[in-house]
A and B are shown apart, each in its own frame.
Chain A
């Protein structure tokens, strides 16, 4: 089974630090302008995941979601959560307060890989 989401060691270290400070967090792949296309890191329970989201996978025990509508274009992409340490930009994402930013890097799965890619999960909302 091929995972859809990976994380670099630099990003993983920051993510672990955020969990230690804020408690459980989640990542939600954003779209739209400005910081769109970046994975946004929010406290679990503060950002409400809904029936319009799909679970892409987990990194460092943190779930990574994307909106189902946006996933249609992302279904063939492996994404890697990376860290940009300079020129952090501005964002509601938790790591931005420390002047760093998570970023998404993409690779398109090959035709051979696609049947092996882990299916996404629709969260149960209740």
Chain B
């Protein structure tokens, strides 16, 4: 099965066996001197140790960030942009290493980290470097003597908590705009996947002034809480699940700070009847679009985990679509031919298998998959799940809950109105997909779906300069677009009178 890989951990002098916290421009041992181990989900290999930090370490990071805050906020946009571009170049120069690290830490296939996660991260730094160069305030001439100037000012020190499904890319999504806008950052990576961010800090340590970007590792319950509830942050950004999203909003209510939240989805992928009108490249693309629920093992907030198929094409379409799913090559994530790797943790594996069981209990029909995959050899104990397709109805739990695994729930619709109604019958509104050869149909469906991103005749593209964020319980705020800069800036209005005359009131 696939290539033989003796050791997943590369012998590379750019890697350390132990990482402290990156605070004030250097590595600082955690106050209590404790560390935790980061293992690979591929086969359990120990990758490195990282600081098991406490609230005291968050305070140290905050000290460093506040010390750096004023100078960084005053640094010319051109200079901030130059440094962000330099970071992007450094990512490019180390693409192979970062892709490798990301793959062994998360379990995602290297064909994805090489072509998507790492290059997209570099591009995000370039994009926000460009945005901040081009940004300008406004002025309004209210009358001949009175002018309102609007300046954009950084918030100061911001906190960011990122998930484990795209550890490096999600870090880039959050770090790049915050730094571009002139903020200092304290970021906490997920404890299952902190490796790439730690490696990255070594790679860019010489680029940013000390204290501008600080990384503190440790558990959400301890470090995440100490950061999110801290009165010394001016904003908190979080990607994760809904209960913790609520908890973070409650902390923010106490300190009265803004937040951006991205909390997941249950995205519908809608296939209109005309998709099957011809056997051509478009149909092939649509079938791949159906199969993209297995992208990143389904561990994507926007996973197209509900497929809605017009009833007139259901049998013919499903025959081809299931065959496409069954052609997914599972294997060692470091094998460039592997399309789907291991789930990120045992917890993930068990949750996904639990949902597959719920689907069966609720009476959904299994079209393919439905079990753990045992790949044998070194991968026997890896957390692999066969790509799974159920057919059922939208009230079933497998249609309503985010499984965060390679499990697709398929149902049918008769009319455009019914497709929209089913598509919107969810607590979430992050992503959606619409597939049609008719532009008007695709447009109408896209406008009616209550989701922040409607991929139209495509799916799972994440370019900078296309806004990403949720409706409904998927959260709020828009990332990957220059508008996120507004979430990291204050508006200062100088209201200036050039008239010598008193108002005349007193």
Contact = CB atoms under 8 A, between A and B. Distances in A.
Contact of B165 (A33, A40, A72, A105): A33
B247 A91 contact: no
Interface of B: 36, 39, 41, 163-165, 190-192, 219-222, 224-225, 239-247, 250, 262-265, 301, 344-348, 350-351, 354-355, 357-358, 361-362, 383, 395-397, 400-404, 427-428, 473-474
Nearest to B303: A33
23 contacts: A28-B243, A30-B242, A30-B243, A31-B264, A32-B242, A32-B263, A32-B428, A33-B163, A34-B190, A34-B241, A36-B404, A40-B243, A47-B250, A73-B400, A86-B346, A87-B346, A89-B164, A89-B191, A90-B191, A92-B247, A93-B220, A95-B221, A103-B347
B243 A88 contact: no
A66 B353 CA distance: 22
Contact of A38 (B41, B265, B351): B351
A108 interface: yes
Contact of B473 (A31, A47, A87): A31
B244 A91 contact: yes
Contacts, number: 164
B241 A103 contact: no
A65 B241 CA distance: 15
Range for the number of chain A residues in contact with chain B = 35 or more
B241 A32 contact: yes
A30 B244 contact: yes
**Which of the listed residues B348, B355, B474 has the most CB atoms from chain A within 10 Å of its own CB?**
B348
Nearest to B223: A97
Which DSSP category, helix, strand, loop or mixed, fits chain A's interface? Answer: mixed
Interface of A: 28-38, 40, 42, 46-48, 67, 69-70, 72-74, 77, 84, 86-97, 99, 101, 103-108
List the 10 closest pairs (A to B, CB-CB), nearest first: A32-B264, A33-B264, A30-B243, A87-B346, A36-B241, A90-B191, A73-B400, A87-B345, A108-B361, A92-B220
A72 B495 CA distance: 52
Contacts of B355: 37
A72 B164 CA distance: 29
A15 B358 CA distance: 25
B240 to A, nearest CB: 5
Contacts of B222: 97
A113 B397 CA distance: 19
A35 B240 contact: yes
B243 A37 contact: no
A70 B362 CA distance: 17
Nearest to A73: B400
Contacts of A29: 243
B366 to A, nearest CB: 16
B347 A101 contact: yes
A29 B397 CA distance: 14
B246 A47 contact: yes
B2 to A, nearest CB: 23
Contacts of A34: 163-165, 190, 239-241, 264, 404
B401 A73 contact: yes
